[in-house]
Structure 1
Amino acid sequence: MLATMTISPLVLKLTRGTLLTLDDCKVLEAMGQEAQWIGPRQDLICEGQKPEHVHIVLEGFACRYKLLPDGGRQIIALLLPGDFCDLHVAILGEMDHTIATITACKIARLPYSTIIEITNNHPRITRAMWWATLVDEGILREWLVGMGRRPADKRLAHFVCELMVRLQTVSLSTDSGFGLPLTQSDLGDVLGLTLVHVNRVLQQLRADGLLGLREKQLIVPDLPRLKNFADFDPNYLHLKPRRDP
């Protein structure tokens, strides 16, 4: 079905959510036709602003974050190619968090009316978007468990496993590693760790032969061993979708 077209990360991801037709895929591809490149470390929409558009990451890494009064930042979601940044927030009166690029990103910016049109006329895409929202919620639950109960080394290892699986879904990772443009400060803001603690944990995992870093490439020498160490179970990513009509 898709052999004759270049498959975007958005299509690769949403085909995990339901069985899409070629016409569905063409509709999804059209969403990115007028995408623009946004520089790194740029806010797309800030907490308190009224959301009127839906953003889709087509290339690059972005995030959702909250700022505390003392300036501390907590990253509450990592947004990868194929991810909707804010699929349903246009229903809300104002944003309760900020969405920003981490790297330079290719971003599609759609009026919410486009999403309404799709939900009214493309039931399979609508189902896939519901699935994507539920996966986002599953990831957030897993992050909460990690922050509350996992020791720092397993927390970082689990995050790496999750990131690898999510990137593999959109053909941006192999079992041996992937490009990791996050700084140690970013990792700390994801994992709730200080910069010093992140550095210490990375050194420990490297010394144990579980991870390696080389020129912004994260190397995983033995993926099954890393998953076993992290007690990683990818079920919360829901990559084996139901095929109900």
Structure 2
Amino acid sequence: MQVKACSNFGKHPFEMTPLSLVKDLMINRSIGELSASERQALADAISGTADFVAGQTAVRQGQPVDVSLLLVEGMMTRQVYARDGRRHLMDVHLPGDFVDLHAYALKKLDHDVGALTAAKVAIFPHRELARIQSTFPNLTRQLWFLTLLDAAMHRQWIFRLASLDAIERIAHFLCEINTRLMAIGLSDGNRFVLPMTQVDLGEVCSLTNVHVSRVLRQLRERELCLVRASQVEILDLRRLAQLGQFEPAYLYFNRAISTRAVGSLQKVST
């Protein structure tokens, strides 16, 4: 499904105020917060919203696009498919993430963007991003930072799959999601909702469903983490981060979030 202008998504595109749609964008980052005028400029650039059901494709690989989408509610993924139909999840997006900001420059994607859960996005026409680029140089740098952040996260995901064993991969992923949710107020640092199946976790960490089940049992037996349905409870964050070789520097959060991300007793790399 190609997402177009707001007129395709109902007569009243704003169920929330435009400013509320960008409230989670660029918060608690190490390079600083957006100014009030910058956040307003982003809100003014929104042409509407779109809702997707779980499993729906929002943007298809190779299709021309003239908008970029900011996730407001729910979870989305970047995904590619093998010739035999097997899906591989390349990224997991949370509220406050642009799911395809790189489409502004590329004009088409080399992957699909899909809704992992029911999701709401804010729509940014590329003509409005071009206007921001010519008018708000600092905000343009902030948006550039987001694409560089994507690259940093992809490098870390490659490290996770190439260098860590099964239990370390799951530990690393859970620590990353916990940190990102903590930054937007959706984790208290130890408990959060993760509406992903064991199959989803396996696709993120390149493990079979059976292997994921075994790893989750091991995490429970080591008294590190409990995963029940969509509820995650981290029992010992410091030890879980150590097991997963998780260092939050690649997420570029501020020191307060980065320190909490690994447990207060562990030194944070800068």
Q: Report the TM-score, using the length of structure 2 for normalisation.
A: 0.82
Cα distance, 1:32 vs. partner? 5.4
Q: Distance in 2 between matches of 1:28 and 1:93?
A: 20
SS in 2 for 1:141: helix
In 2, the alpha carbon distance for the partners of 1:148 and 1:128 equals: 30
Matching residue of 1:214: 228
Taking the aligned partners of 1:126 and 1:86, their CA distance within structure 2 comes to 16
- The match for 1:103 is 117
- Offset at residue 123 of structure 1 (A): 1.9
1:68-147 to structure 2, matched below 5 A, reads 68-92=82-106, 94-147=108-161
Paired position in structure 2 for 1:8: 23
Match of 1:171?
A: 185
SS at match of 2:129: helix
Task: State the match for 1:26 in structure 2.
Answer: 40
1:11 CA displacement: 4.9
Whichever residue aligns with residue 180 of structure 1, its letter is L
Does residue 42 of the first structure (1) align with residue 66 of the second (2)?
no
SS of 1:131's equivalent?
helix
Q: Does 1:197 align with 2:249?
A: no
Secondary structure (helix, strand or coil) at the match of 1:75 reads: strand
For residues 80-100 of structure 1, give each alpha carbon's deviation from its aligned partner in whole angstroms, at most 9, with x where no partner exists. 100111112243353211001
Q: Tell me how far 1:215 sits from its aligned partner.
A: 4.3
Match of 1:229 in 2: 243
Report the 3-state secondary structure (helix = DSSP H, G, I; strand = E; otherwise coil) of the residue aligned with 1:12.
coil
Checking the alignment, whether the CA contact within 8 Å between 1:63 and 1:99 is kept in structure 2 is yes
> What residue number does 1:161 align with?
175
Q: 1:114 to 1:17 in 2, by over 3 A?
A: farther
Give the Cα–Cα distance (whole angstroms) in 1 for the partners of residues 251 and 37 of structure 2: 26
Between the aligned partners of 1:48 and 1:165, the Cα distance in structure 2 is 32
Aligned partner of 1:238 in structure 2 is: 252
Secondary structure class of the residue paired with 2:32: coil
Question: What are the ranges of 5 or more consecutive residues in structure 1 without an aligned counterpart?
Answer: none
Relative to structure 1, is the Cα distance of residues 174 and 79 closer, same or farther in structure 2, using a 3 angstrom cutoff?
Answer: same
Q: 1:163 & 1:174 partners in 2: Cα distance? A: 12
Q: CA deviation at 1:31?
A: 4.9
**How many Å separate the matches in 1 of 2:35 and 2:70?**
21
Moved more, 124-133 or 98-107: 124-133
Larger RCO, structures 1/2 (Cα 8 Å, 6+ apart): 1
**Could you say which residue in structure 1 is the equivalent of 2:10?**
none
Which residue does 1:52 correspond to in 2? 66
SS in 1 for 2:48: coil
Matching residue's letter, 2:136: H
Identity of aligned pairs, percent? 34
Structure 1 residues 210 and 31: CA distance shift in structure 2, 3 A = farther
Q: State the secondary structure of the residue aligned to 1:35.
A: strand
Separation in structure 2 between the aligned mates of residue 29 and residue 90 of structure 1, nearest angstrom: 17
Report the 3-state secondary structure (helix = DSSP H, G, I; strand = E; otherwise coil) of the residue aligned with 2:55.
coil
* Corresponding letter in the other structure for 2:249: N
Counterpart code for 1:199: S
Amino acid at match of 2:118: A
1:17 positional shift: 3.7
Instruction: Give the residue type in structure 2 aligned to 1:137.
Output: A
How far off its partner does 1:132 sit?
1.3
Aligned residue among 182, 185, 198 for 1:184: 198
**Partner secondary structure for residue 185 of structure 1:** helix
Question: What's the CA shift string for 1:181-238, capped at 9, x where partnerless?
Answer: 0111111111111111111111111111111123411000121121122121111111
Q: Number of aligned residue pairs: give it.
A: 236
Question: How far 1:18 sits from its partner (Å)?
Answer: 3.4
Does the residue aligned with 1:203 lie in a helix, a strand or coil? helix
